[in-house]
Chains A and B, each alone.
Chain A
């Protein structure tokens, strides 16, 4: 199976700090790839790179096997990659519909097509089985889980193929965590690929197909989620175990420099 999105030997430094070193990542269609790691492992840098916020210093980003330069979030979106970050970037004073369509409102002649936007908003939220009391409620009145749902729904508007979720369950209660994890499963069954970035191994094991462990900017193991135990993951996250032999699927892109 060809991958939708590939990072091949990607490195990124901020001054002397090496955030990512020679990282390989593959995302197949219809798959949830989890990226786990300790604080400072490079998870958020990776997310920002996939979303077009940062550009790699070296290495290549490939979409459908074709090298691309994700110069900005807009370019990434055009390529079918949408991201939801920890801080969500919702406007508290606007309602759900306004937030979803902010910047690309639907128009009917000289006016905004409120009816079409509201209908699309409901359709989208229904598909996600999201429990939002009203799409005309200001976002400030929603719970943490509902706000995250709105942010994810907004990422889905252009029907992206890859959705990058950066710490979607951080700072959520158990009930909202349950809702977000169920939502990730639903994204997968709708045919999206999901890159799920998290530091909670329990959450990640619940929904991921494959788990990539980052440690100090390097890939320290790729696990099949059905076979990996939480001990395996913790050992790879903390560095107690050396890098496991990397499992590579047939058809994977050749990697510059090869495996260490």
Chain B
């Protein structure tokens, strides 16, 4: 990550009077919190404050137990690495996928302390899933010897559109067993802390834009290609959610007006071409396959599996090109399980995308693989949880 791009996204002219000291403090805490860990020099670049001011404020906040400094090196020079002190508490991020659940526990500097993955049944139910997630978070918190009050907030990602104001799954029929599930209310009652709920692809988009392959770019489009296909759009650092959280649902963009009927009830959606059951179904007669088997086969050079992944890449490119012509992003980040196929998927996708986007002086949007891997959505959930904790003032610093 280079400093120049960080300056461009974050730099706002700071106040110059001493009365702005409080605001500058908050600015520094916010920057450390967003990036996880930074050297003092990088902090100066990111916040636009002078190195001397940064040094003074960091010293003051370390003494107050908010920040923690450790000696480090950057480009061969000695530097002070600044992180949030662990005593500020923990946040949990939970990502429900179609066939698995991932739970991550991080401290207030987004340093992941513990993570766990659990396979889930097809068509799993909200009540069972949420109960297992709650038990897992509690057991993981206990294993890092966190006290009862240390958990500050929880972020949850669900593979369906979510009304973030109420924390309720707002779609019908997309995720059987989760229709209308009041995720926020239910888990809020279990944990007694603020709970943020969002669509999983939105969380992936947020994580990639802030911490991953999309850092320093704006707008960022994120595609999550796994059992289903989801998408998230980050404009000016903010997620585009739409009316009830269905913005960016690229999996249900029409590719073929006369195509097969999708689980959403419409025809010819992108998902009816690249959903995992469709990809696996194309290889019928090879026994019971999973998406992981198809990817492993493609990477090992199996011609049939490669063709399936190649075609999926082309279809994704077509759909992504439509989205690019509307949003004109700087970068399209591709995540989800199918992204593990790497260039086998991205190459045909780039070609299809370049053919269909409006020619621009800047060239076609970059297509990049996720840099956070399978944990992108869980990391996004951690980001949401930390933002919540900060907004509610439980981090101990007003920002």
A residues within 8 Å of B by Cβ? 1, 28, 30-31, 173-175, 177-179, 181-182, 184-185, 189, 201-202, 205-207, 209-210, 224-226, 229-230
B292: interface (CB < 8 Å): yes
Check B121–A206 contact: CB distance below 8 A.
yes
- CB B136 to nearest CB in A, in angstroms, measures 5
From the candidates B100, B121, B277, name the one contacting A205 in the complex (CB within 8 A).
Answer: B121
The SS class assigned to the A binding surface is helix
From the candidates B117, B122, B128, name the one contacting A182 in the complex (CB within 8 A).
Answer: B117
Report the Cα distance A179→B118, complex, angstroms: 7
Report the Cα distance A210→B290, complex, angstroms: 13
Report the Cα distance A179→B100, complex, angstroms: 12
Check B119–A207 contact: CB distance below 8 A.
yes
Check A189–B292 contact: CB distance below 8 A.
yes
From the candidates B116, B128, B135, B288, name the one contacting A31 in the complex (CB within 8 A).
Answer: B288
Q: Which of B100, B118, B120 is the most central at the interface, judged by chain A CB atoms within 10 Å of its CB?
A: B118
From the candidates B100, B122, B287, name the one contacting A225 in the complex (CB within 8 A).
Answer: B122
B111-151 interface mask toward A, CB cutoff 8 Å, 1 = contact, 0 = none? 00000111111110000100010011001100100000000
- CB A245 to nearest CB in B, in angstroms, measures 19
- CB B228 to nearest CB in A, in angstroms, measures 14
Q: Other than A175-B116, A184-B119, A205-B122, give 10 A-B pairs with Cβ distance below 8 A.
A: A28-B288, A175-B143, A178-B136, A179-B116, A181-B118, A189-B292, A206-B100, A207-B119, A224-B288, A226-B277
Report the Cα distance A202→B293, complex, angstroms: 22
Q: How many A-B residue pairs have CB under 8 A?
A: 56
For the complex, count residues of B whose C-beta is within 8 A of A.
23
Check B120–A229 contact: CB distance below 8 A.
no
Output the nearest chain B residue to A174 by Cβ-Cβ distance.
B135
B253: interface (CB < 8 Å): no
Report the Cα distance A225→B120, complex, angstroms: 12
Report the Cα distance A209→B277, complex, angstroms: 14
Cβ–Cβ < 8 Å partners of A224 in chain B: 288
Check A178–B288 contact: CB distance below 8 A.
no
Report the Cα distance A31→B293, complex, angstroms: 11
Check A175–B128 contact: CB distance below 8 A.
no
Check A226–B118 contact: CB distance below 8 A.
no
Output the nearest chain B residue to A184 by Cβ-Cβ distance.
B119
From the candidates A31, A182, A230, name the one contacting B118 in the complex (CB within 8 A).
Answer: A182
Q: Which of B117, B139, B277, B288 is the most central at the interface, judged by chain A CB atoms within 10 Å of its CB?
A: B288
Report the Cα distance A30→B289, complex, angstroms: 9
Check B287–A178 contact: CB distance below 8 A.
no
Report the Cα distance A181→B136, complex, angstroms: 14
Report the Cα distance A202→B128, complex, angstroms: 9
- CB B338 to nearest CB in A, in angstroms, measures 16
Contact A178:B122 (CB < 8 A) given known A1-B287, A30-B287, A189-B292:
no
Report the Cα distance A229→B124, complex, angstroms: 9
Report the Cα distance A30→B139, complex, angstroms: 32
Cβ–Cβ < 8 Å partners of A230 in chain B: 121
B296: interface (CB < 8 Å): yes
Cβ–Cβ < 8 Å partners of A206 in chain B: 99-100, 118-121
Check B139–A31 contact: CB distance below 8 A.
no
Report the Cα distance A160→B288, complex, angstroms: 21
